[in-house]
Amino acid sequence: MASSLFSRQLSLSLQKNLWLGTAGKSSSSNTGCRYVSKAAPKTQVEYDYDGPSMKTSVPGPRSKELTKQLGEIQNVAAVNFFCNYEESRGNYLVDVDGNRMLDIYSQISSIPIGYNHPALLKLMANPNNLSAFVNRPALGILPPENFPEKLTESLLSVAPSGMTRVQTMACGSCSNENAYKAMFIWYRNKERGHNTPSDEDLSSCMINKSPGCPDLSILSFMGGFHGRTIGALATTHSKAIHKLDVPSFDWPIAPFPRLQYPLEEFAKENAQEEARCLEEVEDLIIKWRQKGKPVAGIVIEPIQAEGGDNHATPNFFKSLCNIARKHGCAFHVDEVQTGGGSTGKFWAHEHWGMEDPADIVSFSKKLLTGGFYYKAELQAEKAYRIFNTWMGDPSKNLFLVEVLNVIRRERLLEEVTRSGKTLLNGLYELQTQYPGILSRARGQGTFCAIDVCDDETRDKILLKTRDKGVLLGGCGDRSIRFRPTLLFKEYHAHIFLNIFNDVLAQYK
């Protein structure tokens, strides 16, 4: 039973373990420096485990057996291993072979406050909440009584600056698809000067033709990732395997700045690179307007995640937003991966310091539900334009209320800033120590990454680190991305850095 996880018998013997450097049985070659915990007991995750514990290499025999079984049912080429979610807790993911790993990937960055958090289990034990799980409504037509209240307590309580309206959706791709639709509708109404379509609009759209289905476009960035459904995919340009063989649109694609890190040391070079990209953006907007495919909206991630953790400066985003406004394009900030606190602010775009940064902000993953915030002027007036059967899932809003309570109560954004610094400083040290292997350490909060010399070495390092009890993810061509939960503390960073150091030492 999951609630047995929280027995006090299982509380931490953390500091002792750290000092002894026993991060799983595989940590044999203790070369290099040792990191020690400065974490005070108050910041410990009380129901967390005290460190990784590895029994087999990963995937172990049980995982392999289950992968074979699942392989009879669907494609399993991406399956890492099978998990025992009942036994997982906090920052630790337990697999079906009894291996316990420090999880710094957190289900592709989608677990906000760790596994089996007591606050979420408590919510499930409340009989008043049962109905939200067993009676999934068609939210757009028949919402439950507490829907406005729960939206207010959850999504609206963390609404980005300047935004009071939000629409939930089932997943990140759907969120972006519907955000694009909202921008197209808004743009066409601007062109018309009113909201009433012509008879020609109405008849031509039924057969996919202009002017009803207009030749409008969304400007996106090379390296960006905004989802895998066909509309979202037309703005995704991170990896060929996502896009290959799928028909797409002739929409403009701008270069994303390729900066040098640490950003502050290359301010001048980076400013030049950003200016070059901004100039290209403006050229593309003009070119596509001349082509008869005007840009209705610009979509961008505050940090390109899937595409390799590419950062840009607040100045770049401010200028980009100004360009969008100058040319009458909506400005859509995709916070599907960056949102929810892991950069040290709830929304990564808050780091830009703008009062009015975006027209649309989409989210999913750590928010537990997909959706998008939008300015009032981007709301389609009529019914059924932004619509589907479920339009989200109110049971996810219930969880989100609790997640946000935990984030506030435990000041997790401050913790993220603190542990993120420890993590990034550790990465800086390691890249100094292993200059032939590591480079370009970068990050905001715990949303960090580092490059490896080549993709083959990167992939090997990921597997070796996993076999020593730390689960990481790759991104871009040869980057490692760090995506822990918001419960990741300084001592978790130390556990990771010690193990990572051990792995890297084998390459020296």
Q: Which residues from 376-405 bind a second copy, rule CB under 8 A?
A: 379-390, 395, 399
Instruction: Pick the stretch among 27-35, 210-218, 404-412, 432-440 that binds a second copy (CB under 8 A).
Output: 210-218
Contact 393, 464 (CB under 8 A): no
Q: Residue 135, interface with a second copy (CB under 8 A)?
A: yes
Query: Contacting a second copy (CB under 8 A), which of 44, 91, 110, 362?
Result: 110
Binding positions for a second copy, 221-280, rule CB under 8 A: 222, 227-232, 234, 237, 239-251, 253
Residues that bind a second copy (rule: CB under 8 A) add up to a total of 128
9 lies in the binding site for a second copy (CB under 8 A): no
Q: Please say whether the beta carbons of 217 and 295 come within 8 A.
A: yes
In the set 26, 98, 147, 505, which binds a second copy (CB under 8 A)? Answer: 147
Binding residue for a second copy (CB under 8 A) from 208, 268, 409, 436?
Answer: 208
| Residue 419 φ/ψ, nearest 5 degrees | -70, -30
CB of 198 to a second copy, least distance (A): 10
Q: How far apart are CA 185 and CA 261, in angstroms?
A: 40
Among 137, 160, 357, 469, binds a second copy (CB under 8 A): 137
In terms of C-beta density within 10 A (0-12 exposed, 13-18 middle, 19 or more buried), how is residue 298 classed?
Answer: buried
Decide if 221 contacts 253 (C-beta within 8 A): yes
Closest distance between a second copy and the C-beta of residue 82, in Å? Answer: 5
3-class SS at 200?
Answer: helix
Stretch that binds a second copy, among 18-26, 260-268, 362-370, 485-493 (CB under 8 A): 362-370
The CA-atom distances, in angstroms, between 361 and each of 94, 197, 416 are 34, 27, 22
Which residue's CB is nearer to a second copy, number 305 or number 424? 305
Among the listed residues 74, 194, 409, 436, the single contact to a second copy using CB under 8 A: 74
Minimum separation from the CB atom of position 143 to a second copy (A):
6
The total number of residues shown for the chain amounts to 508
User: Among candidates 417, 413, 393, 391, which has minimal Cα distance to 404?
Assistant: 413
The window from 158-166, 347-355, 415-423, 458-466 that contacts a second copy (CB under 8 A) reads 158-166
Q: How far apart are CA 403 and CA 158, in angstroms?
A: 12
Tell me which H or E stretch contains 93: strand 92-94
**How far apart are CB 399 and a second copy at their closest, in Å?**
7
The residue (of 214 and 445) whose beta carbon lies closer to a second copy is 214
Closest CB to a second copy among residues 72, 264: 72
From 37, 44, 173, 319, residue interacting with a second copy (rule: CB under 8 A): 173
- Tell the smallest beta-carbon distance from residue 33 to a second copy (Å): 32
472 binds a second copy (CB under 8 A): no
Tokens 């680190």 -> residue: 465
- Token pair, residue 320, equals 């980009």
* Among positions 25, 55, 61, 85, the unique one binding a second copy when judged by CB under 8 A: 85
Three-class HEC string of 388-448 = CCCCCCHHHHHHHHHHHHHHHHCCHHHHHHHHHHHHHHHHHHHHHHCCCCEEEEEEECCEE
Question: If binding is defined by CB under 8 A, does position 128 make contact with a second copy?
Answer: yes
Provide, rounded to whole angstroms, the least separation between the CB of residue 128 and a second copy: 7
Q: Select from 96, 281, 320, 487 the one that contacts a second copy (CB under 8 A).
A: 96
10 touching a second copy, by CB under 8 A: no
What DSSP element (H or E) covers 334? strand 330-334
Q: Are 372 and 330 in contact (CB under 8 A)?
A: no
Tell me the window of 19-27, 197-205, 415-423, 427-435 that interacts with a second copy (CB under 8 A).
197-205
Q: Tell which one of 10, 36, 124, 453 touches a second copy (CB under 8 A).
A: 124
Tokens standing for 457?
A: 């070495």
Question: What are 464's two structure tokens?
Answer: 């070796």
Contact characters 305-344, a second copy, x per CB under 8 A: ----------------------------------------
Per-position DSSP letters for 446-484, written without gaps between them:
TEEEEEESSHHHHHHHHHHHHHTTEE-EEETTTEEEE--
214 binds a second copy (CB under 8 A): yes
Quick one: 226 or 418, whose CB is closer to a second copy?
226
* C-alpha–C-alpha distance, residues 172 and 177, integer Å: 9
Query: What is the distance between the alpha carbons of residues 463 and 472, in angstroms, rounded to a whole number?
Result: 9
* Distance from C-alpha of 402 to C-alpha of 396, rounded to nearest angstrom: 10
Verify binding: residue 115, a second copy, rule CB under 8 A.
Answer: yes
390 versus 507: smaller Cβ distance to a second copy: 390
Q: Do residues 405 and 484 make contact, with C-beta atoms less than 8 angstroms apart?
A: no
Q: What is the set of active-site residues? A: 225, 334, 365, 389
CB closer to a second copy, 264 vs 384? 384
